[in-house]
């Protein structure tokens, strides 16, 4: 292969051009990062569909899902007799979406939310309970 020796740094023209244009990095907190709408982001179980079968817990490669009882004050559909729901720990989760694809009733709601730093949403508890109604009275 030919190995030509050039006299001057070849990258110089590109560097000079880059000076004239704006910054290439995304100015993140001030402007949002462009992300695909179907990227794998934060997901949670829709408890109006969930049957509490624990299959997602068994299949999770990171052991991020724990089956917990639903508190008494919520109305639970009849197909969930054991009153269990999957609680995803987002710190452990690797976002492989195995739980989403393996769910027999397709109960998982997926979003492309990638900004996971939060004090409240460490687990999927609040997002999941927002899909249930509270008992009257």
Residues at the interface with another protein (CB under 8 A): 1-7, 9-11, 14-15, 18, 24, 35-36, 38-40, 59-62, 94-98, 101-104
Among residues 13 and 130, whose Cβ is nearest to another protein? 13
**Minimum distance from residue 68 beta carbon to another protein (Å):** 21
Distance (Å, rounded) from C-alpha 123 to C-alpha 50? Answer: 17
Among residues 6 and 137, whose Cβ is nearest to another protein? 6
Distance (Å, rounded) from C-alpha 100 to C-alpha 65? Answer: 12
**Minimum distance from residue 11 beta carbon to another protein (Å):** 6
Distance (Å, rounded) from C-alpha 16 to C-alpha 108? Answer: 50
Distance (Å, rounded) from C-alpha 53 to C-alpha 83? Answer: 10
- Contact between residue 94 and residue 61 where contact means Cβ atoms under 8 Å apart: yes
Which residues are registered as beta bridge partners of 45? 108
**Minimum distance from residue 88 beta carbon to another protein (Å):** 15
Among residues 99 and 127, whose Cβ is nearest to another protein? 99
**Minimum distance from residue 118 beta carbon to another protein (Å):** 20
């Amino acid at each position: 292969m030919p190995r030509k020796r050039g006299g001057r740094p070849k990258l110089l023209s590109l560097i000079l051009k880059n000076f004239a244009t704006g910054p290439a990095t995304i100015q993140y907190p001030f402007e949002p990062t462009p992300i695909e709408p179907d990227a794998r982001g934060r997901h949670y179980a829709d408890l109006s569909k969930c049957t509490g079968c624990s299959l997602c817990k068994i299949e999770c490669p990171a052991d991020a899902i724990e089956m917990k009882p639903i508190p008494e004050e919520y109305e639970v559909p009849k197909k969930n007799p054991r009153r269990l729901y999957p609680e995803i720990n987002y710190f452990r989760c690797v976002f492989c979406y195995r739980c989403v694809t393996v769910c027999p009733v397709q109960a998982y709601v997926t979003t492309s939310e990638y900004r996971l730093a939060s004090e409240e949403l460490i687990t999927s508890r609040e997002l999941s309970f927002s899909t249930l109604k509270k008992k009257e009275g």
